[in-house]
Amino acid sequence: MKKTSFLFAAMLVAAIGSGFNPVSISSVHARADESAEKPKNTVRKEFGVALPDIQKLLDDKQYPQAMEKIAALEAMDKKTPYEEFALHRMRAIVASSTNNTPLLAASFSAMINSEFLKDNEKLRLMEGLAGTFYNEKKYDEAIQWANRMLEKDPANLQTHNLIAKAYYLKQDYQASIKKINEILALDDAAKRAPTEESLRLLASCYQHLKDNAGYTTVLERMVAHYPTREYWGDMIYRTEHKAGFSDRLRLDLYRLMLATGNMDDAGQYVEMAELALLAGLPAEAKTAMDAGYAANLLGVGKEGVKHKQLRDRVNKQASEDLKTLDAGEASAKTAKTGTGLVNIGYNYVINGQAEKGIPLMEQGIAKGGLKSVDEAKLHLGMAYLKSGNRDKAKELFQSLQGNDGAADIGRLWLLVRPLADK
């Protein structure tokens, strides 16, 4: 809406028309004691005869001359309500064509208060005037008119959005947040996804207020509805740098990074593979190495030889691990703690045997003696996700209570979807 004169000229034609018919032209002045009821759109003869001339001046875009004739009609005494309305309408057409916003606002306001427009026509004028003030960066006036429109049309999302952006541009971030949350509530009630624009605006408000908790909450909604690599990268970074995050969960961060396309360099693939080997999960280490080679980040450059050596070692261990899984299970069952059962169970899962691995993990958690119950439950929830049992995974993730990062990672796994094209 950059050229407001064209916008409002079109709106006036749509809402009220540029001509003056139909009107009833009376040859006598209206008197209070007349018994016959006159039509509401009555104008007197001396008033009506001037209308065609004014109309032609408007059509020819001779606005100063039109305003002179309008002023002459304004000077007439005892104007009928419709004559007053006609004057405001003519002035509005001039104002919309000459970008005279004060005149446009005064004319529209009078027309809206009249009885000669339908409700939907009045709404168009309110919406248009709010847009004009917004484009002219008169945000208080834009908000005033937009709120006036919402009194008649409370579910109009375009108008709600205009108010939210106006508050943002006048740097009233708290008011913008409040309005955007109203928009999100409308979205929730209508069971529709929030727009990316709303979420980005809300996130920016929190950034301006340096409210990291609020920003992170919005970011979670962004990766849920608009899962881009960039949004996920920001989300994972903030999770890693949250107070209390345990370095023990670094491999879990790499798992999320791999799943969301956020592995940026060869060193990340190498570290993920090495951490997986340390965790006794050579199959996962192989997954990391294969992904690094597929991305053309491993096996090239001056570190290419080292990458190949690591890949050979990973492939060998992954092959040998498959042969010893059953023996590892037997050993884990005789251990004093459940750590071995959890680990061997998860190993079964990533080797495609979730039906065998998940019960072992559950037995390990029940057996106890774990360094971190939340970490074990996190991995069990991930196992359920791999097996397709999302409801059980959600139940487990929601049971995580600690602040070491396991609960955050579990919540993020529930948001992982195919990345949106950008």
Q: In this predicted model, what pLDDT tens digit does every residue of 31-48 receive, in sequence order?
A: 334 434 445 667 788 888
Q: Are residues 253 and 371 in the same domain?
A: yes
Is residue 29 pLDDT above 50, yes or no?
Answer: no
Instruction: Look at residue 137 in the predicted model and tell me its pLDDT.
Output: 93
Same domain, 127 and 231: no
Q: For residue 275, is it within any domain?
A: yes
DSSP 419: P
Neighbour count for residue 18 (Cβ, 10 Å): 13
151 inside domain? no
Task: Give the end of a domain, one of 131, 146, 173.
Answer: 131
Span 402-414, average pLDDT: 95
Is residue 139 a part of any domain in this protein? Answer: no
pLDDT digits (tens, 9 = 90+) for 105-142: 888 888 888 888 888 888 888 888 898 889 889 999 99
Q: What is the pLDDT of residue 49?
A: 83
Instruction: State how far the alpha carbon of 17 is from the alpha carbons of 95, 265, 311, in Å.
Output: 15, 63, 76
Give the integer Cα–Cα distance in Å for 220 and 224.
Answer: 6
What angle in degrees, to the nearest 10, is found between the helix axes of 282-294 and 304-334? 160
Q: How far apart are CA 52 and CA 62, in angstroms?
A: 14
Tell me, yes or no, whether 115 and 238 share the same domain.
no
In whole angstroms, what is the distance from residue 148 CA to residue 153 CA? Answer: 9
How many domains, the chain? 2
- The CA distances from residue 197 to 55, 194, 203, 260, 330, in Å, are 43, 8, 10, 22, 55
Do 280 and 408 lie in one domain? The reply is yes
Domain end point (choices 115, 131, 147): 131
Query: What pLDDT score was predicted for residue 39?
Result: 54
* Domain of 53, in residue numbers: 1-131
Place of tokens 């999100």: 184
**Does residue 339 sit within a domain?**
yes
**275-284 contact pairs (CB < 8 A, 24+):** 275/250, 275/251, 276/251, 277/314, 277/317, 279/251, 279/343, 280/343, 280/347, 281/346, 281/347, 281/350, 282/314, 282/317, 282/318, 282/320, 282/321, 283/318, 283/321, 283/322, 283/347, 283/350, 283/351, 284/350
- Mean pLDDT comparison of 74-88, 257-271, 318-332, highest-scoring range: 257-271
pLDDT at 363: 97
- What band does 27 get if pLDDT is binned at 50, 70 and 90? very low
- Whether 271 and 390 share a structural domain: yes
Q: What element of type H or E holds 25?
A: strand 24-26
Residue 105 and residue 241 in one domain: no
For 79-106, write each residue's pLDDT tens digit: 888 888 889 989 988 988 888 888 888 8
pLDDT at residue 421, as a whole number: 64
> For 80-84, 193-197, 281-285, which range has the lowest pLDDT when averaged over its residues?
80-84
Last residue of one domain, picked from the residues 131, 147, 174:
131
pLDDT higher than 70, residue 294: yes
Q: Does residue 101 sit in the same domain as residue 239? A: no
The pTM (predicted TM-score) of the whole model is: 0.79
Helix (H) or strand (E) holding 273: helix 266-278
In whole angstroms, what is the distance from residue 179 CA to residue 162 CA? 10
Residues 233, 121, single domain; the answer is no
In a domain, 142, yes or no: no
Residues 161-175, mean pLDDT to the nearest whole number: 98
422: confidence class by pLDDT, cuts 50, 70, 90: low
Confidence (pLDDT) at 3: 42
79 located within any domain? yes
pLDDT at 282: 96
The answer to whether residue 141 sits within a structural domain is no
Task: State how far the Cα of 52 lies from the Cα of 355, in Å rounded to an integer.
Answer: 86
Indicate whether 106 belongs to any domain: yes
246 and 393 share a domain?
A: yes
**DSSP state for residue 389 in the 8-state scheme:** -
Q: What is the pLDDT of residue 13?
A: 41
